Amino acid sequence: MELKRVVVTGLGALTPIGNTVEAYWEGLKRGQSGAAPITRFDASKFKTRFACELKDFDVQQFIDRRDARRMDLFTQYAIVASDEALRDANLIGDGAHEMNPDRAGVIWGSGIGGFQTFMSEARDFYAGDGTPRFSPFFIPMMISDIAAGQISMRHGYRGPNFCTVSACASGTNAMIDAFNYIRLGKADVIVTGGSEAAVTEGGIGGFNALKALSTRNDECERASRPFDSTRDGFVLGEGAGAVILESYDHAVARGATIYAEMVGGGMSADAHHLTAPHPEGLGARNVMRSALEDAGMSPEDVDYVNVHGTSTPLGDVAETLAIKEVFGDHAYKLSISSTKSMTGHLLGAAGAIEGIASILAVKHGVIPPTINFEHPDEEIDQALDLTLNEAKERPVRAALSNTFGFGGHNASVIFKAFH
C-alpha cells in the first residue's frame, strides 16, 4: 500500500525555559539555563538540591480548579501543552477547523506518570494509623495512560488513544507510533508528545541513589554541561511538549500551516545494561540507521542532530562515537547540539520538547547551542561541530532527534523541510 505523507501542523511546549513554544524557542536561541534551587519541596538534605522546574506556572489559568485537583501535574502539563498545539493548528478555538472526531487520536508518552500523586498518597497512608484511606482519584491520577485519556475526553477525540512507556524514549516512541498510524491511514490527526513531573523527593532521591544526577549545587545553572570533561550527571527537568501530526492530504485540504514533514522513525535496544549505554554506542548506531532507512534518506541528507546528550560521563561519549560511525565523513559537516544543557532532562517528555527544537531548527535555520561548555573531553572528538555555547544560523534540510532510556530503549525521529 502507498503510505501517506505526515506533516507537523501545530506545536505546544511547557518547559523550564519557557511556558509557550515562542518563549521556549527564544530561550533556546539565547542559551538560557532552566536550572535553579528546588522549590517544590525541602531539598536541603539531598545530594542534589536543584532541578529544572517550570517557572511561574499557574494551572488555574488553563484548567478549572476542580478538574485540576483531579489531575497529577504530569497530566496538567499535558493538557496545557496539547491545548497550545491544537490552537496553533487551528483545531480548537475561534474559527477552528471542524474534523471527524473518529479520525482524531491521542498518543502520549510518559516514563513515570503520576509520581507526585503516588508520593502524596503513600506519605498520607504511612503517616496515619494504617487504616486504608485513599483518594478515589489515586489510581486515575497516577497511571501513565491517563494524560492521553484526559486529552481525548477534553476534545472528544475517538481515534487511537494510548500511552507509550519507554523511560526517556517515551515521547519519541509516541511520535513514531502517531506517525505510523497516520501514514497507514488509521487516523487523520493525532495529538502526540509527552509530559513528566518527576521533580519529587522520590525522583531526586532515586536518581541520586543511582549517582545519575549532577551535584553541582553551588552553580546549578551551569550543571548540565554535555561534552564537557567536568560533567557529573544530568539535571532533572519537568514539563511537556505536544506535536500535532496530520496527514498531508488532510492538512492541505483544510489550508493548515505546515511546519515540517516527519519522514522517519527508528527504534532499537542496547540489550546491554539496566542504566548504562552500550559503550560503543551500538544501540544508538542501530536506531539512527533505522530512522534513516525508514525515511529513505542517506546520512548526507541530515544537517542537524539533536542528541540525547544528558551530560553523563558515559552517555555523551557513546553517542558521539555512534554519530561518527553512522555519518562517516559527513559527521564533521553536521551541526550537533544538546538542548538538555538548557532544559535539563525531562525524562519521558524529553523526546517531545527536543523534537520541537528540531522542527523549529528546520523551519528557522537556527541550531540551538550546547551551553556550559568549558573543558574539552579527550574522549570526544573536538572536530565535531557541537554548537558550543552560542546558537548558529545555517540551512537545515533535515534534523534527526535522539532519545535513549534506562533499559536500553532507543528511539530516533527525522523531520525535514516541507516543500
Q: Using alpha carbons only, what angle is made at residue 54 by residues 345 and 317, rounded to the nearest 5 degrees?
A: 15
- Assess whether 168 carries a catalytic annotation: yes
Could you write out the DSSP letters of every residue in 249-276? HHHHHTT----EEEEEEEEEE--S-SSS
**Active-site residue identified among 168, 220, 250, 278:** 168
- Phi, psi at 137, each rounded to 5°: -95, 0
Q: Which residues contact 84 (CB under 8 A, 6 or more apart)?
A: 11, 12, 13, 14, 20, 21, 242
| Cα–Cα separations (whole angstroms), residue 225 to 293, 309, 312, 339 | 31, 9, 9, 10
Instruction: Give the integer Cα–Cα distance in Å for 411 and 297.
Output: 17
CB atoms within 10 A of CB 379: 14
Could you write out the DSSP letters of every residue in 106-124? EEEE-SS-SHHHHHHHHHH
Instruction: Give the integer Cα–Cα distance in Å for 35 and 250.
Output: 40
The two beta strands, 161-164 and 36-37, are unpaired
Is residue 258 within 8 Å of 251, Cβ to Cβ? yes
As given in the structure block, the three cell numbers for residue 84 are 497550545
**Active-site residue identified among 163, 250, 278, 345:** 345
- Assess whether 163 carries a catalytic annotation: no
Instruction: Give the integer Cα–Cα distance in Å for 22 and 84.
Output: 11
Task: Output the furthest CA–CA distance in the chain (Å, rounded).
Answer: 66
CB atoms within 10 A of CB 149: 17
The two beta strands, 335-337 and 304-306, are parallel
In this structure, is the dihedral angle defined by the CA atoms of residues 220, 230, 273 and 109, taken in order, positive or negative?
A: positive
- Assess whether 345 carries a catalytic annotation: yes
Instruction: Give the integer Cα–Cα distance in Å for 309 and 315.
Output: 7
Instruction: Give the integer Cα–Cα distance in Å for 80 and 230.
Output: 36
What is the gyration radius of the CA atoms in the chain, in angstroms?
20
Comparing CA positions, the residue from 313, 123, 163, 154 lying closest to residue 225 is 313
Q: Which residues are annotated as catalytic?
A: 168, 308, 345
